[in-house]
Structures are given as C-alpha cells and as structure tokens.
Structure 1
Amino acid sequence: MSALLAVAQQNDIPLNRDIYYDIDRNGAEKSSTMHTGMRPIIQSRADLKNVMGFRPDSSRQYYWITEKLFKEHLIKVKDGGFKLTIDPAFQFELGHDYREGSDYSDNAFMQHNGRGFHIAADLGPTVSFQSSFYENQAVLPGYLFQYSQVYGVVPGQGRIKSFNQRGLDFAWATGNVSWSPRPWINAQLGQGRHFVGNGYRSVLLSDNTTPYPYVKFSTLTNNKRFQYTAIFAKLQLVGEANRLPTGEAGESLFYWKRATFLHLSANIGRLQLGLFEGTMWKNIGANGVLAFNAMQLNPVIGLNTVVNGFNGANTQLLGLDAKYKITDKAFAYGQFALTDPDRNRYAWQLGMQWFDIIRRDLHLLAEFNEATPFAYTKPNARMSWTHDNQPLASPIGTGYTELVVRADYGIKQRFWFQGELSLVKHLYGYAMVEVPGGDIFGPDKQTSITGEERQRLFAGVNASWRMNQMTNMQITLGYSTRDVDPGTIGRDSGYLYIVWHTGLFNRYYDI
C-alpha cells in the first residue's frame, strides 16, 4: 500500500520518534547496512519494513469517511510518475495544571489549538518535495510560558506573540525539495531540522530548535559502507536585543550566522561509526556584514577545525557518534563532543535501546548525558552553539548531567502506552541567567558569582489510540510532572491533558 508520508522515494522521513522507533528496530539488525546516525533519513535509503506510515493496512472500512479518517491520505493524486498527497496537520489539546504556582495559577486551564497541512509529492523517480505548516494559539503550562517569555520562542516551534496575558501565538513551517540524480547522491534545498545520533538526546546536533534554512548534499557508496553528508545552514538569534541596527525592511533582520555541519558515517561490521564537525561562522561585525569567507563552502570534514581552531571568532565543535549492534533487537550507542580542548570543555553520551522485549512492541531506552560547565559557550554569546535562542544540542544547554529512561508498549499497532523519566542536575535554571558555566548564553569563564546546583525531575505517562498511520494521527491521554529543587514559583508542573493530533515532528517539553 502507498505510504505516508512516503509517496515520494526521495523525501525525508519526518523526524518523529514514533516513526523512527520502527526504523531503529530495523537498524538494530546485525545485517542492516542503513546509516542511522544522520537524520532525517531519505526514504530511498531507509529500511521501511513494517515502519509506521509504510506498512500494509488490511483493515476493512465500509465508508469513504472512515477510509479517509482511519486508513488513507485525505487527498491522493497519482498520474504516471506524478504522486501527490495532502493531509491536515493539527494539535487540539485541552489540559489542566494541578501544580501551577505562577501569578496565573487562578486559571490553570491549558489549551493548544494548532492547524495546518502536510503536502508530499513525487515528480518522477528522482525529484520529491514536501511541506508542512502549523499556525498555533496556546496557553501552556507555567514553566513553558516562562521559558517563552525569557527566550522569545516556544521550545522547538517558533517565535511568539503574546495575547490575553497568558496566550501565545506562534507558527511553524518546514519543507524541502530533494533531488537524487543517481542512487548514490542526493541534494536538498529547504527549511528544517537535523539530528545526529541514535538516542533520545544528541550532544552534537539535535532537532530541539526551530527550523532553519539549509542546503544539504549527501553521498552513499554503492556497497553502503560509507555515507557523507554536508549541510550549509543559516542560523539566527531572536528578540529585540538581537535586531540589526540597519535595514530597509519594515522589520529589521536579526543577528544571523552561517553554519556548516559535516558528517561521515562508516559501517564496520556490527559497529557504525560517525565523525562530526560543526562550524558557526561569524558573519556580523561592529561595522556590519563581514566579507565572505570561502571556507564557509568547504565540504572537507576536519579542515575547518584545523584552520579556525577552537578559540577563534568562529565556533568549532568536533565529535564522534557510534552505534554497536549487540543482538538483532538491541544496540548500544554513544557520542562525544569536544568544544574546547585547551579548557577541558566537552559533552558525552552513553545509552542503549532494546526492542521487542519479551513480546513484540515492548521497547526500552536508557541514556546518560553530560556536558561540562561552559561547554558550547563563547566569549561572544551570540556565537554560542544555538539557533533562535535555543541550544542546538541538548535542550538542557550546558553544565549538566542527565539520566533518561523511556519505555513504549504497543498492542496491535493501534494502542500505545509510553512512560518517560528525565533526571537532571544543572548549574543553571532560566531564572539564574547570571550563573557562569551553566548558561549557554552566559560568560565563557568563571566569575565571582556562584550559583547553586539545581535538580530537575520530569516524568510522564500516556496512552494513545493511533487512528491513521499515514500522518501518525492519534488521540492521547496523559499526565506529566515536573519538579525543580530548589526552584522559584511557577517552575513545577502537574499536567493532565487530552490531545487529538498528528505527529510529524518532535516536541521537547522535558526541559
């Protein structure tokens, strides 16, 4: 049966963990040659066996409306080599925060009204495109509202405009054109996010931020032993403090910076090993835009680090990611990110995933992450490892340790139960922006100011009925709790919610 999300061979598989749960299970097989360390994965390079949105659906529906609601795309056109699907994308959520302690605790009723669409098309066997857009109005739990007031964005979703004291208006858009003139090469132009790694977090590059414009090139050897990816992106910071002083537009541009992300992946038996290099280029100086540096187009991994070093005006990150297949149902994974070897600043990750434990669709992930104080920071705070005021690696930022445990259990691919736990020790909470070493936008060296270490617990459970695999449409009932110690008013949460939504991207609210 036609797939998702997947009418087009060259489209990216939407970066959502529900979908990649099946892909990671296929990638755990010792015989698999699929490269999973750079995401999203192009459909033509993925093992789509039994993946949500691509698996056969033999259910019988007797009416047109039930076919569209539970089984098919809303609109589907196929004419020769041309294929097109159009689907609604939405988030309709109601909830109540029973531990809301902010100034707005007299009204702890929450809601999220998000409406949009998802379009995917195949213009023959080599060219594909897709696009998604959401317009949102929301009243979010207190800790997310306060985060948005400090940083000017809803985590991972967009710049905010406030209304009615507590309401937030924000939009989210992504899309790309993907061209594979030969099976071994792919080129893309678009706006989106990327993720390096095989776990829940990434200490290198994650999909935690809002989408950014990019150009991407990727090559794959015929034997699938090596895959090389080069991404050239444009990042920015938002907020009035980051407006550029000049400009002819009615709304001046924000401070921006180009970025280069290079990744080399190699299959070595059961081991998949990746080398990552990230560079942020300083493009704005005291007198305006700096002269173009041809090294910003360099596609050779490692060369930018050699030329720039770690302590120059540009920002360098060098890292490794690895996955080792223990059995056909389990793999261990890890990462290491080096941001400043002279001052011993780095981050690392170690984790494991098990699939089909005892019975099919019982899954467990356990992961530990750590970043040293001042990792990802720069003397020029605008050159920190960030985009749209959000960390490009873990949403926790820097100066932290974190334990993550997640469990999933599915019944007949229709009913899913999930549990999550995140324990964090952190030098910085967003009410402590002056604490050095824990603020990714703060000073990059110790000062006379000292801060206390915070502990943050986030836990949640939910149950979902997955209605339509084509857009991961589901109805979910869940509860999440957040405790910060020591913390100020409004940092804790006990959120009970019900939501009808499509799941085509990840949201990180466990911050």
Structure 2
Amino acid sequence: MQRHFPYWLFFLFLIFFFTPTASAQSDYIDLGNKQYQLLDRLDIRTQGDSILGFTFVKPYNRKNITERVLWIDSMATKGSLPFVLTSTDKYNIQRLLSNNWEWATGHTPITSRKSLFGVFYKNPGALYAVNTPDFKLVINPVMNLQYGSANDGTGSIFQNTRGVVLRGTIGNKLGFYTYLTDNQERDPGYVRDFVARNDAVPGAGFYKYYNRNGYDYFDARGGISFNAAKYFDIQFAYDKLFIGNGFRSLFLSDFSSNYLYLRISTRIWKFDYENILAQTIGPFPPYGMDGKREIRPQNYMMMHHLSLQVTKWLNLGFYENIMENGKNGFHLSYLNPVIFYRSIEQQLGSVGKANVGFEAKANVAKTVQLYGQLLINEFVTKEVLHYSRGNYANKQALQIGMKYIDVLQVKNLDLQLEANFVRPYTYTNYDSVTNLTHYRQPLAHPLGANFREYIGIARYQPHPRLYLTGKVMYHLQGLDSAGVNMGGDISHSYTTRPRDYGFYIGTGIPVRSTFASIAASWELIENVFLDCNATYRTYRVKDQPANNTFFYSVGFRMNIRPREFNF
C-alpha cells in the first residue's frame, strides 16, 4: 500500500535517530560561504585527500571539514605539508577554524576585538554562543542592505534583507540549523522579466509585490542531521543542494527555490555514496490567471550519486536521477538505496523522467583542477551514431572546466574557465509535468536548454580582508519561434516540437548575450562586509535592437552570501 512521502521519510528518520551507535553530528556549511574558496584551494593542493577530495555533492559536513582543516593546520605548523600555504591561506584557515569553533578541538579561536558585555562575540564568528558538553548553539544576525541603479528604466535597485541564522547540536548526537530572512528587493529589468515569465523570484519562488517593480518574500531554510553509524550521515532538511565542481551544474544546482529532501551519505574506503529523496513543486498556473491560491502540485525527485577516488589525483562520479509525478503518491520501490531507478520506472509503468550522468575531477601539479560533467537525458544509439542529423532525441549536456590557483605564481589569484553545452529538449519529458524543474524554475542550469555557454571567473584576495571577483560570460541560445517549441524552454513537453530532425544548439531564434561583472568586498569584521559591484549585460535577439543593461550597487552584508543574477 502506498503512503505519502513525508510519512516514510519521518519513519526512516526515527529508525536512524534511535540507532545506539550514533556519534557526534554537525550541520552543513551553507552554500556560497566564503569558506568554499579556501576548500577548493586545499583540495587542489592536497590532490587526493580522503575528506577534501570528495567535492561533488555540496554542502559539506561542517564537522568533517573542520576536523580535516585542523589536521592540515597542525601539519603546517610542524612543517610537514608537501606544499606551501600562502600567508592568506593560513589566515583563511584560522578564520575557518574560528567560525567552526565547536569542532576545532584544541584550537584557540583568534579574536579581533573584545566581547560585548562579556556575552556577545566571545568568538569572532558568533554573536551569541553556548558551549556545554551536551548542547552547543551559535546565533548570528543576517543582513544584506544594498542600493544602486540600473539604466534599463528600473531606476533605483535595492536589496533589503534582515533575519537570523542559528545552528547547534544536542547531546553530541543531533545537529540542527535554521535560517530565516525577510526580503524586499527591486531588481534590474531582465530579472523582472524572468519573474514575469515564471511567476517566481529566482532562488526564492513565492513572492508578493513590493512598491513599484519590487518583490517581498521570505527565505526559510532548516534541517536536522545525525550520524547513524560510523559510515552513515543522515540529513533531513528544507534547503538546496549542488552537484558538481563547476560554477554551473548540469545535474543539480542551487538556482531554484528550496525544497524538502532526505540525504543519506555513505563514506567508506575510496567511496562516497549519496542517496537523495526530495519533494519538489511541479508546474502550476500563475496566480495572476484567476487570482486564486491553491495547493501546488507536488513531484518527487530521487537521486543516486557515487564518487570514487580512482587514483590520488583522479575522482570519478556516477549519477542517476528520476522525477516522478506526485499525483500518484510516492512509490516505495524508490526507497531502495542501491537500485537502478530506470528499471523500477519500467516495472511500475511510470511516466517519470530519468537522467544518468558521469563526471570527473583531476587535480594536477597542485595548482590545476580539470573537471567535467556529461548528462544523458535520452540516448538513442542510431541517432547518436548519426549525430549530424540533429534528432530531437539526442538530449545530452556536456560541461568541461578548469581551475587554476595562484595564477603565474601570483598568490591567491585564482582563475576558473568553464564551457557548457546543452542540446535542445534536454531536461524535458513528454508530459511536461516531470521536467527537471521546481517551482517553475530550472533545477540544473538557469538557462534551461538549447545553448552553449563560456565562462571566465577570476578571484583575487590580495589582502586577507579584500575579496575581488571578476566574471565574463557569453552564451548563444535558441529561443522559441512564433510560439513553436524549439527546445530551449524546459517547461514545455518535447511532444510539442515541430519536427524530429534538424535540431542543433541555437536552433530557433538565436540570442547572444554577454555578461561582465566586477565585485569588491572588504571584510570589516568576521563575516561582515562592505560591498561594491558593477555589471554590464548585453542581450541581442537576431534582427532586433540590442538590449543592453548596466547596473551597480554598494552596500553592507552580514552572514549571508551576495545576491547575484548570473544569467
């Protein structure tokens, strides 16, 4: 007998929660945190580290990462590392350990100021902290106040975010975290166009209008986690995940809004195995059509990801995903953590959409990382052998990329180059309900499909408190022609295509876009930044005047990643 998905998740959670062998467990380092830049560098330096080397699925477990970085710090102190840390890396390591003080056993947190009233900011990264043998708690305010202007008729743009984030552990057994912000923003015109098309704010989903051309929305995330046994970590959360080593992901990115998921991570020998069950929001009509709010349709998304450290320098990943229509409930067969999803789908007569993928990461010469992803949404052998015919069933995506740290021996100057190629109709199914979307937003690449994209990113930390980032992106995409589905908009069914052959990247009405931005952030005190950024974006549809946008902003940010619109 089928039961609804959340009940079975709760049942599984209870089983593992009361496992007597459970050990200390932490929360996860939030996506976009400044710590990830340091962890990327350490991964490349150490090449095949038993902890840092498994970077495909994010976010990372805070306890595991902190303990590993603490070990690297101790080895550096002894002069036993096979590589040399820059002074800025050493500074960033101390900051990481201070931010994650509850797991940095034996480390003395650095202090940059006196505590307030003997209660607040005893540690640099915590407004208020509790540290007892059975209970640990960190509470921090969240704020992002940005103001600027755009030349596209928007006028002033702004971001007004206030909230709170807390994390902790109970009895050294259960980890928890919660993040809640209230947001008002006014965005450049191309972002508002996205909201109008999808009835969703990028990365957030539901919204209300705020003043003129503005949006008001909550961002609420949270989860619990525990270690069920020596090799098993369990997380039950409402948040986002990211799979891959690139700036983009062709499997699963953090572009869409939050969703409910159960994540079971198994780490043993040279394997890291991730089993993820998620509940997503399926396609729904915009509220503007009838002004009525109703319960949104639900889908269920299941993923397996196996990472294998083949050699000291090479890590391979294998991925499968399926999206199921939630109207028939959750099929219990998908709870099997070591089964091939496609075979279950066929046995059940399901109409869901399956994807498989392969990825690789190679750390070379302690300064370079090569990475890539291959997604297969559909594979018809005879059409692959005759690829030049452009059959619609060739629904694949490819990513290749490189990270180069300390470019030309300039300390803490890092370069990332990446190219993404996604064929028409990739991520789509014949029913459109089980396309790879969540809350009317793509779950993988924000552009959807039918595009090629080239990205260059330079990150430079010339001073421990100064973060400089420059980005240049270019993409060519084929848009629908006179309402005819040409494979770029992944909200449509591929059955609405006009023909079977002649589909190539850019088929349809070609649009070319260039995106260039520069950002500078000065860290006043721990996790408190002054920001300044500027962006120039061109968007040219064939036979139409170019739509060029320039916008800039300055502001103040505390315990939150920058709000960006990189599409």
Q: TM-score, normalised by structure 1?
A: 0.87
Pick aligned residue for 1:260 from 276, 297, 302: 302
Q: Who is 2:3 aligned against?
A: none
1:479 pairs with 2:551 = no
Pick aligned residue for 2:200 from 138, 153, 156: 153
| Root-mean-square deviation (Å) | 2.8
Provide the C-alpha distance between the structure 2 equivalents of 1:432 and 1:362, rounded to a whole number of angstroms: 46
1:30 pairs with 2:32 = no
CA offsets per residue over residues 381-436 of structure 1, 9 Å max, x none?
Answer: 2211111111111111101100111111113320111100110111138x986442
Confirm or deny: 8 A CA contact 1:23 1:51 kept in the other structure: no
Provide the C-alpha distance between the structure 1 equivalents of 2:181 and 2:433, rounded to a whole number of angstroms: 28
Pick aligned residue for 2:61 from 34, 42, 47: 42
Bigger Rg over Cα: 2
CA offsets per residue over residues 253-300 of structure 1, 9 Å max, x none?
Answer: 11110110111111111111111111111222xxxxx25422232312
Confirm or deny: 8 A CA contact 2:234 2:264 kept in the other structure: yes
CA offsets per residue over residues 302-327 of structure 1, 9 Å max, x none?
Answer: x1123336996101010011101112
Q: Who is 1:350 aligned against?
A: 400
SS of the residue corresponding to residue 176 of structure 1 reads strand
Q: Who is 2:79 aligned against?
A: none
Provide the C-alpha distance between the structure 1 equivalents of 2:562 and 2:345, rounded to a whole number of angstroms: 33
Q: Who is 2:139 aligned against?
A: 86
5+ long unaligned stretches in structure 2: 1-23, 71-91, 99-108, 381-392
Provide the C-alpha distance between the structure 2 equivalents of 1:476 and 1:433, rounded to a whole number of angstroms: 41
Q: Report the Cα offset of residue 442 of structure 1.
A: 2.3
Q: Who is 2:5 aligned against?
A: none
CA offsets per residue over residues 338-378 of structure 1, 9 Å max, x none?
Answer: 00112211001000111223133211110000100110111
Pick aligned residue for 1:16 from 13, 32, 47: 32
1:283 pairs with 2:283 = no
Pick aligned residue for 2:548 from 487, 492, 496: 492
CA offsets per residue over residues 151-197 of structure 1, 9 Å max, x none?
Answer: 11111123121133412111111111010133311111110111111
Question: For the structure 1 residues 65 and 202, does the alpha-carbon distance in structure 2 shift closer, same or farther, using more than 3 Å as the test?
Answer: farther
Confirm or deny: 8 A CA contact 1:454 1:486 kept in the other structure: yes
Pick aligned residue for 1:444 from 491, 494, 503: 494
Provide the C-alpha distance between the structure 2 equivalents of 1:433 and 1:141, rounded to a whole number of angstroms: 26
SS of the residue corresponding to residue 227 of structure 1 reads strand
Q: Report the Cα offset of residue 380 of structure 1.
A: 1.6
Q: Who is 1:5 aligned against?
A: none
SS of the residue corresponding to residue 13 of structure 1 reads coil
More helix by share: 2
Confirm or deny: 8 A CA contact 1:476 1:500 kept in the other structure: yes
Provide the C-alpha distance between the structure 2 equivalents of 1:70 and 1:94, rounded to a whole number of angstroms: 30
Pick aligned residue for 1:64 from 116, 133, 151: 116
CA offsets per residue over residues 48-92 of structure 1, 9 Å max, x none?
Answer: 354585245645425638984993411111122311111011211
1:319 pairs with 2:357 = yes
- Report the residue type matching 1:37 in the other structure: F
Q: Report the Cα offset of residue 240 of structure 1.
A: 3.6
Provide the C-alpha distance between the structure 2 equivalents of 1:253 and 1:173, rounded to a whole number of angstroms: 19
Q: Who is 1:287 aligned against?
A: none
Provide the C-alpha distance between the structure 2 equivalents of 1:508 and 1:408, rounded to a whole number of angstroms: 16
SS of the residue corresponding to residue 459 of structure 1 reads strand
Question: For the structure 1 residues 149 and 48, does the alpha-carbon distance in structure 2 shift closer, same or farther, using more than 3 Å as the test?
Answer: farther
Confirm or deny: 8 A CA contact 1:437 1:443 kept in the other structure: no
SS of the residue corresponding to residue 295 of structure 1 reads helix
Q: Who is 1:392 aligned against?
A: 443
- Report the residue type matching 1:30 in the other structure: Q
- Report the residue type matching 2:406 in the other structure: D
- Report the residue type matching 2:430 in the other structure: P
Q: Who is 2:89 aligned against?
A: none
Q: Who is 1:208 aligned against?
A: 255
Confirm or deny: 8 A CA contact 1:237 1:382 kept in the other structure: yes
Query: Does 124-133 or 89-98 show the bigger shift?
Result: 124-133
Identical positions, percent: 24
Confirm or deny: 8 A CA contact 2:48 2:309 kept in the other structure: no
Pick aligned residue for 1:463 from 490, 515, 520: 520
Q: Relative contact order (C-alpha < 8 Å, sep 6+): which is higher?
A: 1
Confirm or deny: 8 A CA contact 1:16 1:505 kept in the other structure: yes
Confirm or deny: 8 A CA contact 1:70 1:468 kept in the other structure: no
Provide the C-alpha distance between the structure 1 equivalents of 2:559 and 2:453, rounded to a whole number of angstroms: 26
SS of the residue corresponding to residue 433 of structure 2 reads helix
- Count matched residues: 482
Provide the C-alpha distance between the structure 1 equivalents of 2:562 and 2:401, rounded to a whole number of angstroms: 20
Pick aligned residue for 1:304 from 320, 326, 341: 341
Q: Who is 1:117 aligned against?
A: 164
Q: Report the Cα offset of residue 453 of structure 1.
A: 0.8
Provide the C-alpha distance between the structure 2 equivalents of 1:19 and 1:10, rounded to a whole number of angstroms: 16
More strand by share: 1
Q: Who is 2:10 aligned against?
A: none
Confirm or deny: 8 A CA contact 1:350 1:367 kept in the other structure: yes
Query: Does 439-448 or 48-57 show the bigger shift?
Result: 48-57
Q: Who is 1:229 aligned against?
A: 274
Confirm or deny: 8 A CA contact 2:287 2:293 kept in the other structure: no
5+ long unaligned stretches in structure 1: 1-7, 285-289
SS of the residue corresponding to residue 494 of structure 2 reads coil
Question: For the structure 1 residues 86 and 26, does the alpha-carbon distance in structure 2 shift closer, same or farther, using more than 3 Å as the test?
Answer: same
Confirm or deny: 8 A CA contact 1:345 1:372 kept in the other structure: yes
Q: Who is 1:380 aligned against?
A: 431
Question: For the structure 1 residues 478 and 505, does the alpha-carbon distance in structure 2 shift closer, same or farther, using more than 3 Å as the test?
Answer: closer
CA offsets per residue over residues 425-483 of structure 1, 9 Å max, x none?
Answer: 11138x986442111112415317973111111110011102344xx331110101111
- Report the residue type matching 1:374 in the other structure: Y
Question: For the structure 1 residues 140 and 70, does the alpha-carbon distance in structure 2 shift closer, same or farther, using more than 3 Å as the test?
Answer: farther
